[in-house]
Structure 1
Amino acid sequence: MRGSIRVGDAAEGVDAIAYVAGREALDWLRGVDPAASRVIELGDFKAGLEETALIYRLEGVPRLILSGAGGEDEWIGHAERLRVAVAAAVKQARRLRQIRRLGIVVEKGLLEKAASEGRGERWAVEQALIAADMANYVYSLHGRGDRPHVLDEIRIGPGDEKALESASAIAEGVRLARDLANAPANIMGPDGLEDAARELAKRLGLGIRVLHRGELESLGMGGILAVGSGSDKEPRLIVLEYHGGGRRVAVVGKAVAFDSGGLDLKPSQYMLEMKYDKSGGAAAMGIIAAAARLRLPVELVALIPAVENMPSGRSYKPLDVIKMYNGLTVEVGNTDAEGRLILADALAYAAEKYKPDAMIDLATLTGAAVVALGNHAAALMSNNEDLASGIEKAAWAAGEPAWRLPMWPVYEKQLESKVADTNNIGGRWAGAITAAKFLEKFVDGRPWAHLDIAGVAWVQEKGPWKPYYHQGGATGWGVRTVVEYLRGL
């Protein structure tokens, strides 16, 4: 259930046309149509960020939408002003179920300002197209009744086919990540994730290998095996490879298809969002899909440890000691700190087998990251300044802000264990950082960046609030950021 994005004449054959501009371009909007000029003169539209106005016309395209991009002082930057305003126009059009085709015209000054923050005007048009596609997204399993309205076509003009080609590739990756994360655990368990990966590999010509229980045991992947031990669905490590030449990059995504907390059971209200605990793995699949379609000159491997964390007679227990793939022993301080255990095995395997130039992991890892940053930024931690700076720059350019937290050696003391090499938790304080310090033990000193996306991977009570997330559910956070970083290599 999806529409298409296009470039071309924004007024040809459409049911509505949207004009996008900031407050600095109100005069341009006045010249669009006499009715638009009148609405602005009356003060009913001031081009504020996400502000829209709907006007009916007697001639030409019957519906006119004005969509505001706010002022030049918006802290989010010009590229994000553009994305938000385009998405707000799509959101307004979707409210009217009679609109099937929407044309969008962006004021040239706004486009030029956005272009200056990225890779030029073609990049700015691409970003507008991606935002439009994201705002037109819906995940629905309705069998009866009215399904959410989706526009058949969104056309941005003028534009060029190169911008459309790259936008379509990235938008597809974001959609894939959102679909996988939104899917309930009975549909998208570890087995469902494997099926999705195999279909993706076949469609895009990717290499694929899936390590099941026997191989996990022979390799000594005690973290993945322990976390998956309580479920009837077997754990596995999914490995996808794209060979584009160039630098070697490993992307590791946490995929806990459902996280009950294990024997350290979560309160019931916190389980209601735990189908989203596979968002990191979903993003990893979306990233490699986009990279393949963009034909990026990079050697990319995506590793997705896929498990369910469930309580049963077979479950791993608090104070168990687990031997990991790299030989470290881990005392289990809490079975609900499971994501770092499966990531650790995958990171250690990636470091040894692929010897990447850079490693990036994405995970809905800690509530502590949400406490620190809310639902408006991911927490970024790294052992390498160049990699961290590159990821941070890419995140802001893509409209997915990331904020760096320190990785001082003193935090490692919180992970000390009396019976094992390390504990899997470091106590209540600085929980996002101690989780990252745990993961750092498994990267073999290679350049590595950790993105804790617990606050931004799906729309929660306090955000993230963006018109391109307006349906709610999974955001696909991280696909745009990592693809932007890979393009910069």
Structure 2
Amino acid sequence: MIRGSIRAGFDKGEVDAVAYVVSKETLEKAKALGRASAEAIGLGDFRAGLEETAMLYEPGTKPSRVILSGVGGASDWPDLVERLRVGVGAAVREARKRKGIKKLGVIVLEELVEKAAAEAGKSTDWVIEQLMVAADMANYAYALKGKGDAPHVLAEIGVEPGTEAALQNALGIAEGVRVARDIGNAPPAMMNPERLEAYAREIAEKLGLGITVLHRGELENLGMGGILAVGQGSEVEPRLIILEYNGGGDTVAVVGKAVTFDAGGLDLKPPQAMLEMKYDKCGGAAAIGTVVAAARLKLPYRVVALVPAVENLPSGKSYKPLDVIKMYNGLTVEVGNTDAEGRLILADALAYAAEKYKPKFMVDFATLTGAAVVALGNHAAALFSNNEELLRSVEKASRLAGEPAWPMPLWPVYEKQLESKVADTNNVGGRPAGAITAAKFLEKFVGDTPWAHLDIAGTAWVQEKGPWKPYYPGGATGWGVRTVIELLRK
């Protein structure tokens, strides 16, 4: 993949363009940047609107290319940190339109950084770090072109104000997000369960992480009927990939759904619905990316990622509607729909994580239900939890990270929709409240462990209606990595 770098600060004599991130409140100050800037602002051609950019040329200055990037005002979006991320991301995307720009300097007024820090209750270093991560995310590209032009990626982005501490944190978080996006964007044949295991092993060797992979024999011995059933229609064996960073302290488990391609099984999806199903592994991608970022930041936790990896394909060996599966925790599940497979593989992994690792809490990521997209669109993940304190902590962390999650109910009344006449539970509860009944199903497998479930079906990749943020150029977003890192650092 094409890679650029981020750095703290820059020399104006060494960059090809300078971008100034401007709010409506600081618009007048931007007139001092030069004649072209003053004229564009004076004529109303640049008003510092959210995501608005202007490419200008200031004669006699070095560099002569100047990008103005707006962050709007509080009425556009109340979260200044997020508006600054958007402004930085928009500036990077504007620069990427011109192949003559290899190196970009980004300047954010210190007063905006200080105000954002005060509003978020964080340090200015934290704000700077967030802006650096946004710059790196906007500079991301995934391409496998053998001919023709590859996407233009900036070789270097310098951010001012910048500090070494902010840069080191930003590099760690950005790497975790990139890993998640690379896994999510990879074509199904290049990132099937076998190749995902190989990639996880490369990461473990590179970062000195622990790795265990449970294959068919171990899964059978452990009674992981959910993972085995979903994966049995494919020629590629299912597996449970466990990646571990041990920074000491409490154990935290992150569980991610990795259906590397989801055709729906025997309840086959229509062809158009399959075109985005390489992204059904984005939950597992986020879990792996979280461990990478935690290791890079040397967080004082033991962070364990459990990633059940399968292909859900139709064949003569596929599991069938009305089959009854026995899960790792002993519950029997009637299969109401083979396309509700993610909850089956997650259930085994959650139950195993709770029993084996006894974590302080668990978080799972899953592109689980279309119902979550219907409810919240592509701008927020659906958040469920069996623990009020954890629910509020994840909600706050998601907002700070720029990955908003909206709390949804887990009331006992929804349990009735999952009733089965032949098994302990059904894997589906009908169309009404589909995201909630999926979460209620998962809740049966976590025991007393505090647990949060993030249904990222609407946010894991850039779909028709969003996410709208300019630091998502397209494809997988890596949604969830920044939230859990923020949760662990609170």
Structure 1 equivalent of residue 480 of structure 2:
478
Counterpart of 2:202 in structure 1 is 199
Amino acid at match of 1:192: R
Q: Which residue of 1 aligns with 2:409?
A: 406
The structural deviation recorded for 1:251 is 0.2
1:55-94 matched pairs, under 5 angstroms: 55-59=56-60, 60-94=62-96
- Alignment correspondent of 2:375: 372
Partner of 1:113: 115
Superposed counterparts of 1:216-235, under 5 Å: 216-235=219-238
Runs of 4+ residues over 4 Å off in structure 1: none
Instruction: Tell me the distance in 1 between the aligned counterparts of 2:10 and 2:340.
Output: 52
Picking from 138, 141, 146, the partner of 1:143 is 146
The answer to whether the 8 Å contact 1:381/1:407 transfers is yes
1:408-423 alignment, distance < 5 Å: 408-423=411-426
CA contact (8 A) 2:368 2:456 kept: yes
Structure 1, residues 332-372: CA drift from partner, whole Å, max 9, x if none? 00000000000000000000000011000000000000000
1:262 deviation in Å?
A: 0.1
8 A contact 2:214–2:239 mirrored in 1: yes
> What SS does the corresponding residue of 2:232 show, helix, strand or coil?
helix
Within 2, Cα distance between the matches of 1:310 and 1:118? Answer: 48
1:285 is aligned to 2:288: yes
Note if contact 2:351-2:447 (Cα within 8 Å) is conserved in structure 1. yes
Give how far 1:79 is off: 0.5
Give the distance between the partners of 1:35 and 1:465, measured in 2 at CA. Answer: 29
Contact 1:250 1:359 in 2 (8 A): yes
Tell me the residue number matched to 1:53. Answer: 54
Supply the AA of the counterpart residue of 2:22: A
Q: How many residues align?
A: 487
Tell me how far apart the structure 2 counterparts of residues 45 and 97 of structure 1 sit (CA, whole Å): 23
Partner of 2:277: 274
Q: CA deviation at 1:466?
A: 1.1
Structure-2 residue corresponding to 1:464: 467
Aligned AA for 1:392? Answer: E
Greater alpha carbon shift after TM alignment, 341-350 vs 109-118:
109-118
Matched, 1:102 2:104: yes
1:10 to 1:418, Cα distance in 2 relative to 1, 3 A: farther
What is the aligned partner in structure 2 of residue 44 from structure 1?
Answer: 45
Residue 154 in structure 1 maps to residue 125 in structure 2: no
Match of 1:487 in 2: 489
Cα distance in structure 1, aligned partners of 2:28 and 2:111: 12
**CA offsets per residue over residues 178-204 of structure 1, 9 Å max, x none?**
000000110000011101110111111
Does residue 455 (structure 1) correspond to residue 458 (structure 2)? The answer is: yes
User: Mean Cα displacement is larger for which, 241-250 or 194-203?
Assistant: 241-250
Structure 1 residue runs without a partner (length 5+): none
Residues 10 and 158 of structure 1 are in contact (CA less than 8 Å); yes or no, is this contact kept in structure 2? no
SS for the counterpart of 2:188 is coil
Query: Aligned residue for 2:389?
Result: 386
8 Å contact kept, 1:118–1:397: no
Question: Aligned-pair distance for 1:10?
Answer: 5.0
Q: CA deviation at 1:444?
A: 1.1
When the two chains are superposed, the root-mean-square deviation of aligned CA atoms in Å is 0.8
Residue aligned with 1:465, SS: coil
Contact persistence 2:21–2:87 (CA under 8 A): yes
Match of 2:261 in 1: 258
- How far does residue 450 in structure 1 lie from its aligned partner after superposition? 0.2
Hey, what's the Cα distance between the residues in 2 that align with 1:179 and 1:400? Answer: 18
Give the superposition deviation at 1:157: 1.8
Higher mean alpha-carbon deviation, 19-28 vs 346-355, is at: 19-28
Matched to 1:50, the amino acid is: E
CA distance, structure 2, for counterparts of residue 405 and residue 113 of structure 1: 32
Q: 1:307, 1:19 → 2: CA distance?
A: 46
**Structure 2: runs of 5 or more not aligned:** none
* Residues 291-318 of structure 1, C-alpha deviations (whole Å, 9 max, x = no match): 0000000111000000000000000000
CA contact (8 A) 2:252 2:362 kept: yes
Partner SS state of residue 469, structure 1: coil
User: How far apart are 1:58 and its partner, in Å?
Assistant: 2.1
Distance in 2, matches of 1:273 and 1:9, equals: 39
Which deviations, in whole Å up to 9, do the C-alpha atoms of 1:94-146 show, x marking residues without a partner?
A: 00111000001101222112212152100111011000000000000001111
CA spacing shift, 1:10–1:482, aligned 2, 3 Å: farther
Shift of 1:8: 1.8
Contact 1:118 1:124 in 2 (8 A): no
- The verdict on how the C-alpha distance between 1:456 and 1:76 changes in structure 2, with shifts beyond 3 A counting, is farther
The residue identity in structure 1 corresponding to 2:59 is: L
Identity %: 69
Deviation at residue 248 of structure 1 after TM alignment: 1.4
Checking the alignment, whether the CA contact within 8 Å between 1:40 and 1:46 is kept in structure 2 is: yes
2:25 corresponds to: 24
Q: TM-score, normalised by structure 1?
A: 0.99
Q: Distance in 2 between matches of 1:166 and 1:118?
A: 18
Compute the displacement of 1:27 (Å): 1.8
Shift of 1:42: 0.5
